[in-house]
Structure 1
Amino acid sequence: MANLKAGLIGLGSMGRNHARNLHALDGVDFVGVCDPAGDPAGAAGAAPVFGSIEQLLALDPDYVVCAAPTAAHGELAEQLASAGVHMLVEKPVARDSATANAMVERFEKAGLIGAVGHIERFNPALQQLQKRLSAGDLGEIYQIATRRQGPFPARIADVGVVMDLASHDIDSVGFVTGREFQAVSARTAHKSGREHEDLVAVTGQLEGDLVANVLVNWLSPKKERVTVVTGEKGTFEASTLEGDLTFYANGTVESQWQDVAHFRGMTEGDVTRFAFPKPEPLRTEHEVFRDAVMGKESAIVTLKLGLTAVAVGEAIRESARTGKTINVETRR
């Protein structure tokens, strides 16, 4: 079977990472790139770089990875769908849910595969967490909390922290729990003098009365990417920076040393850091999408899932603007 032909739109920070993976992906020929700014970093290698999408489409690619600014996603998706080309688009899928919904409808009508680069779904720590929660290792789930904090990335200019960073957590919360957001209450802040928000704190309710807390900012000098799930049997903590998953079992052993009990509680339970393979999440994302284009069963992040993340993000911003709790279901 002949290799798939893949193209790329955009050679910014994320686009260069996509180019690196496209060069190394088995079963795929990296045929060309579209970026009007050229390729000053040399990320395209031997692949030609064009100034227009029409020149890239003239190479008849099977699929294209879109790493252009969010505002351009809707128009680029229309062009790719019209050309009969499958698409993997960076998150967020679109700037607003109306555009995202139009993208979903366009690709479904054309019978094409569209996927969104919610890369955290392919982080080995979150994949392991999802499997263990699905298997009932935690029993009933009570709460999920995420913290995604760090310094401002100068490469982001067209969206705020809700759509750029919190969209990761919105999607991953749904992924690991298998439940959708029903309502959100949020507050945002503008501390860096930019047009867009740079801090958000969210309290959400998911199906089954599961409580979620999402804390995200571009203001902390310490980079943190943590997901904590508390339930009937203890707590899972996933660090997506290191790809680690740790389980803290409920206390079963009574502490007899009172000075220690002041810090650790009256009982202690086992703490386990699991060992498992840790492939690069972006490489896994590319492999999964390649397999989907080849017609194999594959767990891509669909455009519909991307639409859900955008709708929740819009509800978060509306809640912050109005000071009210917003029902998410009415926005999809």
Structure 2
Amino acid sequence: MAALRAGLIGLGMMGRHHARVLRAVEGVDFVGAADACGDPHGAADGVTLCGSVDELLELGIDLAVVAVPTAFHETVGTQLAEAGVHALIEKPVAADVASGTRLVEAFESRGLVGAVGHIERYNPALQSLRERLENGDVGDVYQIATRRQGPFPARIADVGVVKDLATHDIDLTAWLACSEFVSVYGQSAHKSGREFEDLIAFSGRLADGTVTSHLVNWLSPFKERLTVVTGSRGSFVADTLTADLTFFENGTVATSWDAVSAFRGVAEGSMTRFALAKREPLLVEHEAFRDAVLGLDTTRVVTLRDGLATLRVAEAALESATSLSVVDPRLLAAAV
């Protein structure tokens, strides 16, 4: 079978990583990249460098990766869909729900694979956690809490911390629980003098009753990426910076110390840190996209419709932070 001909649009900070990985994906031939601003990182070395999407399409590509600023996702994505090209679009799927809805229609109406780069789903720690939750290892899930914070990234200028970072946590939370958000309540802040919010703390509830909480900012001098799932049998802690997964088990040994047993809801049990095979999440994401394009496995990609659901929750969190009221993200769909 001939290799799929792949193109890349956008050669910025994220685009250079996609260029590197595209060269490593079996069954994919990286033939060209497009960026009107050129190739500042030398990521297109060895392939055709184009100044526009039209030029890239002339190379006869089968699929493309879109790593341009969020404001251009709809324009570029629609152009690819109209040309019959499958696309992996970096997250967030679009600048707003209306734009995302049009993108979904553009790809689905043509039977094309449209995927979103929610890379955390491909992190070894979260993939293992998802399997263990499906196996019932934590029992009934009570709460999913995430913390995602660090310094401000100079490359982000067109969206705030909610659409850039919190979308990771929204997507992975709904994916881990296999349940959608039905309400969110949040508070945000602007502390760095920029146009968009740089801090948000919000809570949510999923359709299955799971309670969620999320702390996200661009204001911390350290980087943190943690997901904690608490259930009836204990708690899983996933660190996606190191791809480590740890399970803190509820204890089964009775405590005779009255003061301690009265204070604790559960006793401390064994702690297990799992040994995981750690493959690069971006490579696994590309392989999943390739397999979907080939029709081999369409279950592992984050679809445009998935990305749209995540975007709705992000906009609901922002609306909640403005109105200081609980917002049901599902109602945003009816307004489009």
TM-score, with length taken from structure 2: 0.95
> Which amino acid in 2 is paired with 1:305?
D
Partners of 2:82 and 2:44 in 1: CA distance = 25
* C-alpha separation in 1, matches of 2:262 and 2:278: 37
CA deviation map 1:162-221 (0-9, x unaligned): 000000000000111111000000000000000000000011010122100011000001
Residue 110 (structure 1) shift: 1.0
**Alignment check: 8 A CA contact 2:236 2:246 kept:** yes
Cα gap change, 1:310 to 1:142, in 2 (>3 Å): same
Partner of residue 53, structure 1: 53
Q: Secondary structure at the match of 1:98?
A: helix
Distance 1:259 1:12, change over 3 A: farther
Tell me the residue number matched to 2:314.
313
Matched, 1:115 2:131: no
What residue number does 1:300 align with? 301
- Structure 1 residue 25: deviation in Å? 1.2
Gaps of 5+ in 2: none
1:253, distance to aligned residue in structure 2 (A): 3.1
**RMSD of the TM alignment (CA)?**
1.9
Q: What is the identity, as a one-letter code, of the residue corresponding to 2:304?
A: L
Call closer, same or farther: CA 1:267–1:231 in 2, change over 3 Å.
closer
Aligned to 2:270: 270
> Is contact 1:183-1:205 (8 Å) kept?
yes
How many Å apart are 1:262 and its aligned residue? 12
- Aligned-pair identity in percent equals 58
Q: 1:41, CA displacement in angstroms? A: 1.5
Question: What SS is found at the alignment partner of 1:37?
Answer: coil
What TM-score does the superposition give when structure 1 sets the normalisation length?
0.96
Aligned to 2:222, the other structure's residue is in SS state strand
Whole-Å separation in 1 of the counterparts to 2:101 and 2:70: 15
SS of the aligned residue for 1:253 comes to coil
Q: Cα–Cα, structure 1 residues 41 and 262, in superposed 2: closer, same or farther, change >3 Å?
A: farther
Residues 100-119 of structure 1: per-residue CA shift (max 9 Å, x gap): 11111111111111000000
Which residue of the partner structure matches residue 329 of structure 2? 328
Structure 2: distance between partners of 1:106 and 1:208: 31
Q: Is the 8 A contact 1:185 1:325 kept in 2?
A: yes
Q: C-alpha offsets along residues 94-150 of structure 1, whole Å, 9 cap, x if unaligned?
A: 001111111111111111110000000000101111111111111111111000010
Which residue of 2 is the match for residue 2 of structure 1? 2
Does the 8 Å CA contact 1:179/1:207 hold for their aligned counterparts? yes
- The question of whether the paired residues in 2 share the 8 Å contact of 1:254 and 1:266 is answered with no
Structure 1 pair 326/260, CA: closer, same or farther in 2 (3 Å)? Answer: closer
Matched residues, number: 332
CA contact (8 A) 2:11 2:40 kept: no
